Amino acid sequence: MKKKFAPFFEPDSVAIIGASATPGRPGHEAIRNILANDYAGKLYLVNPRGGEILGIPVLQSIAALPKGIDLAIIILPAKDTPQALRECADRGIRHAVLSAGGFAEVDDYGANIQQETIEIIREKNMRVLGPNTSGHTSTPHNFTSTFFPLGKIRRGRVSYIAQTGNFATHTMKYILTGEHFGVSRVIGLGNKIDVDETEALEYLADDSETTAIIMYLESIKRPRKFLEVAREVTRVKPVIVLKSGSTDAGKYAAVAHTAAMAAEDRLIDALLRQAGVVRIWDYTHLILAGKALSMMPLPKGNRVSFLAPSGAMLVVLADLCIRLGLEVPDVQPETVRRLEEISPPFIRMRNPVDIWASASVHGVEFGYGQGMEAVMKDPNIDAVVPIMMLTKDTGIPPYDFIVELAKKYPAKPLFVTFSADKKYMDECKDFVEPRGVPTFPEIEQPFEVLSILYRCTRAMNRSR
Amino acid sequence: MKKKFAPFFEPDSVAIIGASATPGRPGHEAIRNILANDYAGKLYLVNPRGGEILGIPVLQSIAALPKGIDLAIIILPAKDTPQALRECADRGIRHAVLSAGGFAEVDDYGANIQQETIEIIREKNMRVLGPNTSGHTSTPHNFTSTFFPLGKIRRGRVSYIAQTGNFATHTMKYILTGEHFGVSRVIGLGNKIDVDETEALEYLADDSETTAIIMYLESIKRPRKFLEVAREVTRVKPVIVLKSGSTDAGKYAAVAHTAAMAAEDRLIDALLRQAGVVRIWDYTHLILAGKALSMMPLPKGNRVSFLAPSGAMLVVLADLCIRLGLEVPDVQPETVRRLEEISPPFIRMRNPVDIWASASVHGVEFGYGQGMEAVMKDPNIDAVVPIMMLTKDTGIPPYDFIVELAKKYPAKPLFVTFSADKKYMDECKDFVEPRGVPTFPEIEQPFEVLSILYRCTRAMNRSR
């Protein structure tokens, strides 16, 4: 599998068919993305006009390409795509990304072109991503076929499979501008006339650059095979899926979006469960779970400790934990002793931890730092969430103690969230995230994500 | 009621008992807050040391105060509070805020002091907020008793009742630094030995400066009376309640937090329903619902239109709407015609609206602007949510068109959320929110909040 897909993810040579000299055009931005990512292989450009684009000479026909290029990125209108694909095959190219839309997702005319394309793939024995895909990305190989202007894509260890062009475009832009984590492989499936979610999953299962897999799906093309593959992968890597189109309104919206009508949702749900896949429901969790898995290990169990500067938050969040299937257990007597030691006299402490008094009297760094360490050490606790109290008047701590604690206890997820001054929330995020500690803007989110990760743990540990 | 509580919310004269010259101390920060809010009444400070604080002369005893001051803010340790309260009564002060903690929420010793305080209140016929309250706020009167350093508190039209000191402190700090909306009255109930949620609600019901009421409660002191009052208020103003302690873990956490054990949750839930109160579950929604109600009217119904730059988002969000009790109906033929008119040829349009093509070809301002106007005009639609596509490469629009549309269709909630570049998301938020259009960082949030607001609409329209 790994070898089979190497031309997609580790191409030594790439041709862009439909290269454009005009900034903003997909055929131009694809080149800029490849250059911005420091792709080390050979890059060929094809456009009948010839000339030069961004310093690279342009060939006037596919026929002018050298033989045996690994991968073609075809950025041409739908109607011109089959012919280009055929010509690529004739130059010995066996792998292609078909970027254009205008196929079966649009109308009957497009459906005909799509059918023609399928026949070429079969006849020429090719492997194709798309059509109607915004491309794919392989940061370990410094490569992307994405035509949406992204610039340098941050490298990470989580991979995404997305049956939507949005992920590799707007969502990736958000991740690059609003977050600090990166990705390993991103696979935009498009209309998946050839490579589908099952094959993509199979590839990522074997991929040493991928430690967790997150998918957005609207349908599953080969459910039986998917189940077979997913059942194995989920024992070694977390697999999280947002499968949409679960309601009638969702399905209705899906028809217009991709050519595939959303499959019957209840069957899919049962299948995902059986496969050990963790299903999620919010688009935002695609991002937040990716962040968590990029920085932290899975929790060994569901026993959470959290520290808040407010009794109200303790109560609301304890309620939330229960709703999410997380436990908020008692900590060990030794931990209680330590928590009381760091608090003003006569304050009784337990889990969840009201850290207000300690942080107010002894400072935020001492109160949170010592309190977090006490619960991170505790064998009754699988994950720790501090709701950091950040306001200038109680003193903004140097944030390194958070990073140090995460390093000292690498087996336990540490998820940070905030209360009070937005300026320092942003500052803390920008400090700790590049150093490996994920933060979450809303206080409910770390618990939502922990619950997702705990379901991954259970899936990985399930009996055969 | 209004007159009865005027000394709390419209005091002409205020005394701080326990004024402090030391920055950071509650007795100091309370003075600074009052000054920062441009309180126009008379302010007296009391501290045995005398002297001057922030330019205001300090009286050495309560006995030295003039007669008949409207309100005393007593910022003294619990043990000294009863005596101070008695002395205040002797100077004709009938209203007091008791800021100290250390009462029944802590131990038996504190419980005894609390009981003594209750007896003084009865004997002297006083009205008291607290103890263990971080204070209250009344922006229409430029006044606050809060001792947490907040500076100028932004004025708004939504009022909060909170059985937690956190709201008037860290959460308010967040609202002031991370949001653009303001508040009208904020009432920190504390241990509510006198003024409780029912009386606070009764006051806000009649308050012309309050258009909506949001509460955080851990218990309801007089359920029957609360039901009686709430049943009427909810017909004229939205009342939203986060009642925590719904699970055993939550209750367990609540014991340590306030003196009141969380009441049996299922009974409370039934009571809230019967009262027309809209119950929420997330702390974050206290803030987001407050923002929405500060800027937008309630939706007349649950029929939503949304515009997204991604089919995947359309499908996921349509699913979400159904789960939240919102409808995503067909729009009128005329609206469809208009949506198709503004899109490239041959693209079929409907609700939810895939605005990608139009915005890509004609620009974000035209695509979104015309698309939003089409659905805002549509009588089948009660609320509109654009998921703004903001990335420099497709062009960042001037944001005024969003504000103009909100002004042109003031009867329909317009909630904005984002996709793509974080920098422009922040920029857009900072432009439209001060001009009355709420934005939400996560794409699910506008729908969650619309669902809360729609439940308010139903409560207001329910039959007797």
Query: DSSP string covering A171-201, please?
Result: IHHHHHHH----BSEEEE-TT-SSS-HHHHH
CB contact at 8 A, A389 and A359: yes
Q: Which residues of A200-214 are buried (b: 16+ CB within 10 A; e: fewer)?
A: bbbbbbebebbbbbb
What pLDDT was estimated at residue B165?
85
Nearest by Cα to A336 from A302, A388, A371, A311: A371
- The one-letter amino acid code at B451 reads S
| Reported pTM | 0.95
Element (H, E) at B367: helix B364-377
What pLDDT was estimated at residue A105?
87
Strand B136-138 with B143-144, pairing: antiparallel
Q: Which residues of B353-378 are buried (b: 16+ CB within 10 A; e: fewer)?
A: bbbbbbbeebebbebbbbbbbbbbbb
A319 touching chain B per CB within 8 A: yes
> CA B430, B435, B437, B438: dihedral to nearest 10 degrees?
50
- Is there a contact between A420 and B174 if contact means CB atoms under 8 Å apart? yes
The mean pLDDT value for A118-145 works out to: 97
> What tokens were used for A380?
């009754």
B25 touching chain A per CB within 8 A: no
A200 touching chain B per CB within 8 A: no
> What tokens were used for B158?
């939504």
Examine the pLDDT at A399 and tell me if it is beyond 90: yes
Using a 10 angstrom Cβ sphere, with 0-12 exposed, 13-18 middle and 19 or more buried, the burial of residue A301 is middle
The mean pLDDT value for A64-90 works out to: 97
Nearest by Cα to B1 from B294, B240, B286, B204: B204
A79 touching chain B per CB within 8 A: no
Nearest by Cα to A210 from A144, A153, A159, A285: A159
What pLDDT was estimated at residue A404?
98
* B244 Cβ contact partners less than 8 Å away, ≥ 6 residues apart: A312, A315, A316, A319, B216, B217, B218, B250, B254, B262
- Is there a contact between B258 and A320 if contact means CB atoms under 8 Å apart? no
- The one-letter amino acid code at B173 reads K
| Chain A CA closest to residue B244 | A316
Nearest by Cα to A270 from A213, A216, A230, A324: A230
Identify which of B167, B244, B322 has the shortest CB distance to residue A319: B244
Give percent of chain A with pLDDT exceeding 70. 96
pLDDT higher at B3 or B236:
B236
Interface mutation vs chain A, best among B192, B266, B319, most A CBs within 10 Å: B319
B350 touching chain A per CB within 8 A: yes
Examine the pLDDT at B248 and tell me if it is beyond 80: no
What pLDDT was estimated at residue A265?
81
* Residue B252 with chain A: CB contacts under 8 Å: 318, 328
Q: How confident is the model at residue B246 (pLDDT cuts 50, 70, 90)?
A: low
Element (H, E) at A96: strand A95-98
B107 touching chain A per CB within 8 A: yes
* Residue A103 with chain B: CB contacts under 8 Å: none
What pLDDT was estimated at residue B252?
64
- Is there a contact between B348 and A256 if contact means CB atoms under 8 Å apart? yes
What pLDDT was estimated at residue B441?
96
Backbone angles phi, psi at A234, to 5 degrees: -65, -10
- Is there a contact between B309 and A262 if contact means CB atoms under 8 Å apart? no
CB contact at 8 A, A165 and A132: yes
- Is there a contact between B173 and A283 if contact means CB atoms under 8 Å apart? no
Tens-place pLDDT, residues B333-376: 999 999 999 999 888 899 999 999 999 999 999 999 999 999 99
3-class secondary-structure state, position B129: strand
Out of A162-171, A364-373, B75-84, which region has the weakest mean confidence (pLDDT)? A162-171
CA distance B204 to B195: 13
With DSSP H G I counted as helix, E B as strand and the rest as coil, what are the percentages for chain A, rounded to 5?
Answer: 45, 20, 40
* Residue B107 with chain A: CB contacts under 8 Å: 346
Question: What does each C-alpha distance from B165 to A55, A205, B171, B320 come to in angstroms?
Answer: 63, 50, 9, 34
A150 touching chain B per CB within 8 A: no
CA distance B270 to B258: 23
CA distance A338 to A373: 10
CB contact at 8 A, B372 and B405: yes
- ipTM higher than 0.90? yes
Q: How confident is the model at residue A260 (pLDDT cuts 50, 70, 90)?
A: very low
Out of A232-241, A339-348, A453-462, B224-233, which region has the weakest mean confidence (pLDDT)? A339-348
The mean pLDDT value for A308-325 works out to: 92
CB contact at 8 A, A74 and A53: no
End-to-end Cα, chain A, rounded Å: 24
- Is there a contact between B283 and A313 if contact means CB atoms under 8 Å apart? yes
The mean pLDDT value for A255-284 works out to: 79
What pLDDT was estimated at residue A266?
83
What pLDDT was estimated at residue B258?
47
A29 touching chain B per CB within 8 A: yes
3-class secondary-structure state, position A240: strand
| Chain B CA closest to residue A102 | B347
Out of A228-237, B251-260, B432-441, which region has the weakest mean confidence (pLDDT)? B251-260
Q: How confident is the model at residue A258 (pLDDT cuts 50, 70, 90)?
A: very low
Using a 10 angstrom Cβ sphere, with 0-12 exposed, 13-18 middle and 19 or more buried, the burial of residue B110 is buried
A50 touching chain B per CB within 8 A: no
Element (H, E) at A216: strand A212-217
**Torsion-angle region of B131 (φ positive above 0: left; ψ -120 to 50: alpha; else: beta):** beta
| Chain A CA closest to residue B261 | A315
The mean pLDDT value for B390-409 works out to: 93
What pLDDT was estimated at residue B215?
98
**Torsion-angle region of B151 (φ positive above 0: left; ψ -120 to 50: alpha; else: beta):** left
Tell which A residues from 385 to 444 touch B, by Cβ distance under 8 Å: 389, 391, 393, 419-423, 425, 441-444
| Chain B CA closest to residue A351 | B253
- Read off the DSSP letter of residue B185: E
Using a 10 angstrom Cβ sphere, with 0-12 exposed, 13-18 middle and 19 or more buried, the burial of residue A93 is buried
Angle at A355 between CA A351 and CA A360, to 5 degrees: 165
Distance from CA of B208 to the nearest CA of A (A): 29
Question: What does each C-alpha distance from B379 to A222, B351, B453 come to in angstroms?
Answer: 43, 13, 19
Place of tokens 């040829």: B345
End-to-end Cα, chain B, rounded Å: 24
What pLDDT was estimated at residue B259?
42
- The one-letter amino acid code at B430 reads D
Examine the pLDDT at B448 and tell me if it is beyond 90: yes
Identify which of B174, B311, B422 has the shortest CB distance to residue A178: B422
Tell which B residues from 254 to 313 touch A, by Cβ distance under 8 Å: 254, 256-258, 262, 281-284, 309-313
Q: Cα–chain-centroid distance for residue B335?
A: 36
Give percent of chain A with pLDDT exceeding 90. 88
Examine the pLDDT at B443 and tell me if it is beyond 60: yes
Cα dihedral A424, A425, A430, A435 sign: positive
The mean pLDDT value for A60-70 works out to: 97
- Is there a contact between B242 and A422 if contact means CB atoms under 8 Å apart? no
CA distance A368 to A364: 6
User: How many CB atoms are located within 10 Å of the residue A334 CB?
Assistant: 11
Examine the pLDDT at B260 and tell me if it is beyond 50: no
Backbone angles phi, psi at B319, to 5 degrees: -55, -50
The mean pLDDT value for A238-263 works out to: 68
Distance from CA of A109 to the nearest CA of B (A): 12
Beta bridge pairs of residue A43: A14
What pLDDT was estimated at residue B166?
87
CB contact at 8 A, A393 and B29: yes
* Residue A250 with chain B: CB contacts under 8 Å: 315-316, 318-319, 322
Give percent of chain B with pLDDT exceeding 70. 96
Nearest by Cα to B321 from B342, B351, B349: B351
Interface mutation vs chain A, best among B25, B133, B147, B170, most A CBs within 10 Å: B170
Nearest by Cα to A244 from B305, B321, B416: B321
Using a 10 angstrom Cβ sphere, with 0-12 exposed, 13-18 middle and 19 or more buried, the burial of residue B300 is middle
What pLDDT was estimated at residue B253?
66
Element (H, E) at B30: helix B26-36
Tell which A residues from 117 to 146 touch B, by Cβ distance under 8 Å: none
